[in-house]
Structure 1
Amino acid sequence: MSRRSIIRRTVALAAASLLAPLAAYAQGFPQKPIKLIIAFPAGGPTDITMRQLADNAGKILGQSVIVENKPGAGGTLPAQALQSTPADGYTVGQIPLGVFRLGYTTKINWDPIKDISYVINVTGYAFGIVVPADSPFKTWKDFVDFAKANPGKLTYGSTGTLTSPHLTTEIIAQQAGIQLQHVPYKGSADLMLALQGGQLMSGADSTGFAPQVEAGKLRVLNTWGDKRLAKFPDAPTLKELGYDIVQNSPFGIGAPKGTPPEVVKKLHDAFKQAMEEPSYVAALGKYDMLPNYLSSAQYTKFAQDTVAREKVIIEKLGLAKGQ
């Protein structure tokens, strides 16, 4: 046997010896409950739909998937938690769009692309702007007219600084030629309480506001999808109002960097099957949300593309570090 052949064989044997434990680990995974960290408080649309997804996935995996709520910091705390978590597949986290803006707005010592293993994208939101039912703003034109006459006095709440509701509303305001006063909250539940309590003049949120609208407590002025929502047929889209904006803020699940590919695949396959269960589709339907599947490779590419796109938005709004 030649020296080159001996070296090749030695390298192959070494690689096999390293891969064998990983394969065995993946084959036995999971041996204990998995923690799914989500970025918003209990009781909101994200929490309710993700708990149903976790319940479905747990049954498929044969181990419970336990939800932990970690709200705040614009929905980026789960991603930050993954940076100090063992890469063994037993902790995963929701990755909202705010994660892809972090590098431009905050000093962080990790990379949103390189330091997360992207498992699967699961859904996105339906958004809109609402006002209390007794508000003088009956239409979006009323809202804009008041804001133009009273620069910076019209308040709106969102689910946090640099979240999609916050940034999209700022883009809308920029295109409309108005200045608004932003008030951030940790999640939909707190935002809805503030709106109904008279602390805010308006709110930008996902359709977690649907129950309050249906109860006659809030009014929808616009929605942000490509088409009108069946639940609110009288509310025009931003496109109908003359703004070239569609926002549904897709989100999915990530794992720590270095999670074995076989484990990522097991998680992906389980959550994909969990997405297809009627119970999850029904839970999403309550909030006008739809399944939005991206594979691990597709989700990674989406993350890369989104980071590039968000840089332009952040700089345009003057929110980048140092601006």
Structure 2
Amino acid sequence: MHPLTRRRLLHAAVASGASLGFPAATRAQAWPSKPIRLVVPFAPGGSSEIVARSTAVELGKTLGQTVYVENKPGGGGNIAMAEVAHADDQHTLILGHIGTLAVNPYMFDKLPYDPNKDFKPITLLAKVPSLYVVHPDLPVRNLKEFVALARSKPGKLNYGSAGNGSAGHLAFEYLKAAADIFVLHVPYRGTGPQLTDLLSGRLDAASVGAPAILQFIKAGKLRCIATGSKGRLPLLPEVPTVAEQGYPGFEMTQWYGLLAPANLAAPNADKLAVEAAKAIQSKDARERLAGDAAEAVGNTPAQFAQFIAQEQVRWKAVVTRAKIKPD
């Protein structure tokens, strides 16, 4: 056989790859090719857990690979963010959050990651309304009474949060600034430990994402005195918003989005964005989140990136005013 003819046949065989039995290395590999790890930078038990698991279940269906959730708390979320920022296996994602993306850059003098350069925004998954709650033993029925009590005893009441710079910390500092009150902050390492003390009465108050505490409100173990949402929540129609109770324009919601390391191949990131938005907008995911008063979003990477930038401007001012520092 002529050498030129032989070369042409070889090229044709490589082009057809799979049909002629050539190894996978000669063909474009499908993604994902193994289970995906979704890292949550907080302890189990909070709103982040509910959003992450709702996303993982539906995303696993659309991608055809298992998506498993791994909680990795510590450092205000910085430990997990730094690890995922440098992950190069193309199968590690992280749950982005108001704290790690919009607060930590202004709270810490130096971060082990760059929120704007080390990650690719994939989609904003969900917004979770912050609820302002008190232990039932505290003699207040609404926000007006709480503010009056706090003003009569400056520094005597306390509130807990999942840690410095957490959404609950921001939410309460935002309220303190709006109402001009002084309430002592007690930071915990995660929502779970904080709720333990709140339910036992060792804490007076807190602001927590709706999914984590709705069951306790309905059971009478906590009293909701206001919601941070724009309008009243269908699951708590009797509870007025902060804005309704004398603070027009006040709004406080936590938010969670899906991020990938910046090195995720562009075609894979594009595919992930489409499938993640589809997953969080699925009927099952929306119903699961709505049952916890959370709103499913599912926007584009460009829209999510713009949202992050806007939130960074907003919360830089809050962090500076409240002089929020890490533990």
1:185-226, Cα deviation, whole Å (9 max, x unpaired): 233332221111121011110111110111111110000000
Whether 2:199 is the aligned partner of 1:171: answer no
User: Paired residue for 2:68?
Assistant: 66
Return the alpha-carbon distance in structure 2 between the equivalents of residues 232 and 305 of structure 1.
Answer: 29
Whether 2:288 is the aligned partner of 1:283: answer yes
Return the alpha-carbon distance in structure 2 between the equivalents of residues 184 and 73 of structure 1.
Answer: 13
Structure 1 residues 182-221: aligned runs within 5 Å: 182-207=185-210, 208-221=212-225
Return the alpha-carbon distance in structure 2 between the equivalents of residues 73 and 225 of structure 1.
Answer: 28
User: Paired residue for 1:260?
Assistant: 265
The alignment covers a number of residue pairs equal to: 299
What are the ranges of 5 or more consecutive residues in structure 1 without an aligned counterpart? 1-20
1:216-247, Cα deviation, whole Å (9 max, x unpaired): 11110000000011222222111112223212
Whether 2:276 is the aligned partner of 1:271: answer yes
Return the alpha-carbon distance in structure 2 between the equivalents of residues 77 and 125 of structure 1.
Answer: 24
- Residue 145 of structure 1 aligns with an amino acid whose one-letter code is A
CA contact (8 A) 2:129 2:294 kept: yes
User: Paired residue for 1:238?
Assistant: 242
- Residue 90 of structure 2 aligns with an amino acid whose one-letter code is G
CA contact (8 A) 1:75 1:160 kept: no
CA contact (8 A) 2:98 2:256 kept: yes
SS at match of 2:257: strand
Whether 2:298 is the aligned partner of 1:293: answer yes
Deviation, structure 1 residue 279: 1.7
Instruction: Specify whether residues 320 and 214 from structure 1 end up closer, same or farther in structure 2 by C-alpha distance, changes over 3 A only.
Output: closer
Deviation, structure 1 residue 74: 3.2
Whether 2:98 is the aligned partner of 1:93: answer no
- Residue 61 of structure 2 aligns with an amino acid whose one-letter code is K
Return the alpha-carbon distance in structure 2 between the equivalents of residues 145 and 49 of structure 1.
Answer: 35
Deviation, structure 1 residue 159: 2.1
Return the alpha-carbon distance in structure 1 between the equivalents of residues 148 and 324 of structure 2.
Answer: 26
CA contact (8 A) 1:73 1:160 kept: no
Whether 2:231 is the aligned partner of 1:227: answer yes
- Residue 252 of structure 2 aligns with an amino acid whose one-letter code is Q
SS at match of 1:126: strand
SS at match of 1:195: helix
CA contact (8 A) 2:209 2:254 kept: no
1:78-118, Cα deviation, whole Å (9 max, x unpaired): 322222211x4300001101122222211124321111111
CA contact (8 A) 1:72 1:160 kept: no
CA contact (8 A) 2:134 2:222 kept: yes
CA contact (8 A) 1:76 1:95 kept: no
TM, length-normalised to structure 1? 0.86
1:143-172, Cα deviation, whole Å (9 max, x unpaired): 112211211111111222112221121121
User: Paired residue for 1:307?
Assistant: 312
Instruction: Specify whether residues 104 and 49 from structure 1 end up closer, same or farther in structure 2 by C-alpha distance, changes over 3 A only.
Output: closer
User: Paired residue for 2:81?
Assistant: 79
Whether 2:113 is the aligned partner of 1:110: answer yes
Whether 2:157 is the aligned partner of 1:154: answer yes
Higher radius of gyration, 1 or 2: 2
Identity, in percent, stands at: 30
Deviation, structure 1 residue 320: 6.7
| Stretch of structure 1 that moved more, 220-229 or 50-59 | 50-59
Deviation, structure 1 residue 142: 2.1
CA contact (8 A) 1:76 1:98 kept: no
CA contact (8 A) 1:45 1:287 kept: no
- Residue 32 of structure 2 aligns with an amino acid whose one-letter code is P
Return the alpha-carbon distance in structure 2 between the equivalents of residues 192 and 69 of structure 1.
Answer: 18
Return the alpha-carbon distance in structure 2 between the equivalents of residues 158 and 320 of structure 1.
Answer: 14
Return the alpha-carbon distance in structure 2 between the equivalents of residues 319 and 221 of structure 1.
Answer: 25
TM, length-normalised to structure 2? 0.85
CA contact (8 A) 1:74 1:159 kept: no
Return the alpha-carbon distance in structure 2 between the equivalents of residues 285 and 187 of structure 1.
Answer: 23
CA contact (8 A) 1:37 1:67 kept: yes
1:38-75, Cα deviation, whole Å (9 max, x unpaired): 13333433213321221211122111111001234334
